[in-house]
Amino acid sequence: MSPFLRTSPAFPQDSAPAVVRPVIDARGSLRRTLTFVAALGGMLGLARSGQSTLVVWLTFGVFVSVATVWVRGQYVDSLDGRQWVIPYRIGWWLTAGAAALLLAGFADLPKAIGRHARGLDGELLAIIGVVLIYLVAGSALTQVRQIPRPRFLGREIRTGRWSIGLTAAGLALAIAGVGLLRAGRFGLAWPMIGSGVLALMPIGMALWSEQAIRRACARGRARAWLWGLGGAGAVLFATASAIAFWVIHSLVLVVFLVVLGLFIVAMVSTTQAGIAVVLAAMALMGVTPAQRSNHRLHPRPGQQTLLALGDSYMSGEGASVFYKKTDDGGFKRKGEGQRNECRRAPSAWPELVVQTDDSWLKSLACSGAVAGDVAGQITVFRSMRLARPSMVVLSIGGNDAGFASLGMMCLAPGNCAEKGDMWLEALKTLPGLLKNAYTAVNEAFPGTPVVVVPYPDPIYTKATKCDQVTLSPAERKFIQRFIDELSATISKTAEEFRFYYAAEMRYALLDAHLQLCDKENDGRPGVNFIGLRSVHGTAMQRFNPMKWVHSSLHPNERGHAAMARAFQSWRSGQAKVLPARRNADKSMCGTADRKSVTACRRQPDRQEGGASTRVTTEPPCDLLDEKASTGCKKKAWRWAIRQVGDALIGGQRWLLIVSAAAGAWLVAVAFFAYRRRVHAACG
C-alpha cells in the first residue's frame, strides 16, 4: 500500500458507492505537516524568550491558522479512507531520533557540552522528542485505520478484536484509577487514569470507530439512517448536559462533558486534531512575559529604606510581570542572585508606596514563605551591609495557616466548609509560629517601626449570586470566617510585640470594590480567582501544569494598587506617633528558627486582664509537615482528590458521563460516515 493517497470524485448520495482510484498528493500533505512542525517549533521557542503579549498572541494566531489548515487537509484527504502518512522508514528514523533526544535531555547533554550548546537545555530536547513521538504515533494510527486488513510480521491483525480489547482495558484502568482516587490512594491513580484515558482508550476508540464509519457508509440508501443516528446522539448528549446543569447544578460537570465530547469527536475523526490542541495548549501555557530589571539596586545617601519581609501577598505574586531572577521556577529562598520562585513584582504594593515618597525599597518577601523563613530573609539583608531600615513591613502567617491548601480544597468539587473545623483548630498553633518570626524581627531591628500587614478580604460575601467564582455561598462564608480568625490571631500576636497593625489593609479590596463577587467592579476584580500563567526557567518547569496556577487567589495589579492606597492612608493617620513607636523586649519566644517551634507552641497565650491559658488539645493536623500523612496539606490533597473521584462517578454522574460520551460518539460516526459517503468511496 502506498501511503501517499488522497480523495477522489464524488458519487450520488443514495446509490451504492463506486470503487474509485485515490489520487496521490504527497507534496501538499508533506508541506502542511512541515509548516505545522515549524509553527509549533516557533511557539515552543517563543515560550522561553519572554516576548511581549502582542508578539505572543500574533505567533499563537499564526500557529492556530497553520494547525487549522493541517487538520483540515487531513480531513479532506481522509474522505476516501486514504490519506498521507509518514512513510514507515522515515517514521522509524524519527522515532530513533526522538529516543536520542529523550536520552540527551534526561542526561542533560547540553550542560555537558558547555558553551558550544549555549541557548539549549536538556529538558527542551526531551520535550521535542516527546512531540516527535506524538506525531509519529498519530501517523501510525492513521495508517492502521486506513488499511482494511493490516498485517504485522506476516500475520493479519483483527482490528475489531484489538480495538474492543484496548478500549475495555483503558476503561477498566480509568475506572480503577478513579476508585483509587476516592480511596485516597492517588500515587497509583494518576498513572492508571492517564494510561487508560490518554493512551489505550483513544487508540481503541479510533480503531473501532473506523470500522463503524465504514459499515455505516456502505449501507444502501443510508442518508436517512445516518441523520437519525446523528440526531439521536445529539439528543442524548444534550439531555445529559441539561441534567447536569439543571438538576445537579454543576457547571463544572457541564464543562467536563463538553470537553469530553470534543475529545471523542477528535478521536473518531481520522485527523490529528487532538494532538494539535494538546500541543497548542502546552505551547501557549509555556509562554511567559518579559521580566523587568530592577534599576534601584542601591539607595542614595541619606535615602530612607523600607524593608519588606514575608510571603506572596507582599512579594506581588498574582502580577503578570516579575523582576528578573525571581520567577525562574527553581528552588525557593536560595538567596539573592540564584534561581528562585520568590516572584517579586514591580507592581507589588510596597513598590508603589516608595514611588510616592521617594524612599528606597528592599523587598526580600518570597512566595511560599512561612514564619520560619523570616529569619533567613533577615540574614540576607544583613549580608548586604545596608543601613538600618526606617521601617519594616511584614506579611506572614497565611502559608503557616495552610491558606493555599484550603484554597485548593475549595476549588475542588464538594463543599470545603465541611472540613472547616480542621483548619480552624489548626490555627491554634499559629501564634507560636508567628512569635518566632516576630522575635527575629524584633531582635534584628530594635527601635525600628515594624508594621504587620493583614491579608485583604478577597470575597464579597453579601452577594447572593456570583459568576466570578465557583464557590457556593457556604464556602464563601467559611473562607471569610477563616480569614477573620487568621486576622485576629495576627493582630493579637502583633499587639503582644507592640508592633503596628495596619488594620485598614484588610479592607483595601472591599473599600475599592475590587473583591470577587462585587458587582461594582464590572467583572474586573483585584484578585485572580483562577490565574493561569507559567514561570521562567527550564522547559520542564515552564510546561509543568503545577506551575500554571500559582497566580490564583492572589491580588493582581489592581488589587496591589488598592492595597498601596490603603497603606498610605493608614500611614498618614500614624504620622505623628510612628517614629516614636518602640519595639518589644527581645526574647518573646526564644530563637527564631524551626527548631524552637515546639517550645514556642507551649508558650501561654496572653489574654485580656493578664490571664493566660494553654492550648490543651492537639490540632487535627500539622500545618508545617508537608510529607507526613498527618499533615494538613496531605489531608487537604486526599480530600480534594476524593471529591474529584466522587464528582466523576459518585451518585448518577457516571451515567451522565457515559450517556454524553455515547451521544458524542454517535454524532461523530454519523457525520464522518455521511461526509465520506457524499464525497468519496467508503473503502
- What is the Cα Rg of the chain in Å? 30
- pLDDT for 564 equals 94
Residue 116 pLDDT class (50, 70, 90 cuts) = very low
140 and 177 in contact (C-beta within 8 Å)? no
Confidence check: pLDDT of 18 > 50: no
Candidate ranges 1-15, 185-199, 279-293, 457-471; pick with highest mean pLDDT = 457-471
Q: Can you read off the three cell numbers belonging to residue 11?
A: 458519487
Which is more confident, 606 or 639? 639
Contacts of 231 (CB under 8 A, 6+ apart): none
Confidence class for position 375, pLDDT limits 50, 70, 90: very high
What the chain holds in terms of domains, given with CATH numbers, is 308-584+601-643 (3.40.50.1110)
Per mean pLDDT, which range of 58-62, 83-87, 617-621 is the poorest? Answer: 617-621
If one compares 639 and 271, the residue with the highest pLDDT of the two is 271
pLDDT for 483-500, tens place per residue? 999 999 999 999 999 999
The rounded distance, in Å, linking the Cα atoms of 525 and 556 is 8
- Residues near 598 by beta carbon (within 8 Å), at least 6 away in sequence: none
Q: What is the pLDDT of residue 532?
A: 65
Cα-to-chain-centroid distance, residue 505: 29
pLDDT in tens, 602-614: 233 322 233 333 3
pTM of this prediction?
0.73
Dump pLDDT digits (tens) for 173-220: 888 887 776 665 666 777 788 788 878 888 888 888 888 888 888 776
- Region of poorest pLDDT, from 157-166, 225-234, 271-280, 283-292: 283-292
Q: How many CA atoms lie within 13 A of 542 on its CB side?
A: 26
Q: Which grid coordinates are listed for 375?
A: 529569619
Share of the chain above pLDDT 90, in %: 19
Q: What is the pLDDT of residue 585?
A: 47
DSSP state of 516: B
DSSP, collapsed to helix, strand or coil, labels residue 367 as: coil
Which among 493, 389, 491, 498 is positioned nearest to 444, based on CA atoms? 389
Band (335; pLDDT cuts 50, 70, 90) = very low
- Kindly report, residue by residue over 573-628, the tens digit of the pLDDT: 775 555 544 454 443 443 333 333 333 332 333 222 333 333 334 456 666 665 55
Residue 119 has pLDDT above 60, yes or no: no
pLDDT in tens, 393-442: 999 998 888 887 777 777 777 778 887 777 787 788 889 999 999 999 99
pLDDT digits (tens, 9 = 90+) for 219-235: 766 677 888 889 999 99
In the predicted model, what is the mean pLDDT of the chain? Answer: 76
Closest CA to 560 of 368, 257, 346, 402: 346
- 559's enclosing H/E stretch is helix 557-573
Q: What is the DSSP string of 50-93?
A: T--HHHHHHHHHHHHHHHHHHHHHHHHHGGGT------HHHHHH
- pLDDT value at residue 319: 84
Residue 111 CB-density burial (10 A; 0-12 exposed, 13-18 middle, 19+ buried): exposed
Torsion angles phi and psi, residue 305, rounded to 5:
-120, 130
pLDDT of residue 338: 45
Q: How many CB atoms lie within 10 A of CB 227?
A: 12
For range 370-392, the mean pLDDT: 91
Question: Is pLDDT of 165 > 60?
Answer: yes
Predicted local confidence at residue 576, as pLDDT: 55
Look-up of cell digits 470575597: 459
At 220 the pLDDT is 65
Question: Distance between CA atoms of 620 and 626, rounded to whole angstroms?
Answer: 14
Per-residue buried b or exposed e for 607-618, using 16+ beta carbons within 10 Å of the residue's own CB? eeeeeeeebeee
pLDDT beyond 70 at 544: no
- Is-contact 625 594, C-beta < 8 A? no
- Annotate 195-223 with three-state secondary structure: HHHHHHHHHHHHHHHHHHHHHHHHCCCCH
pLDDT category at 13 given cuts 50, 70, 90 is: very low
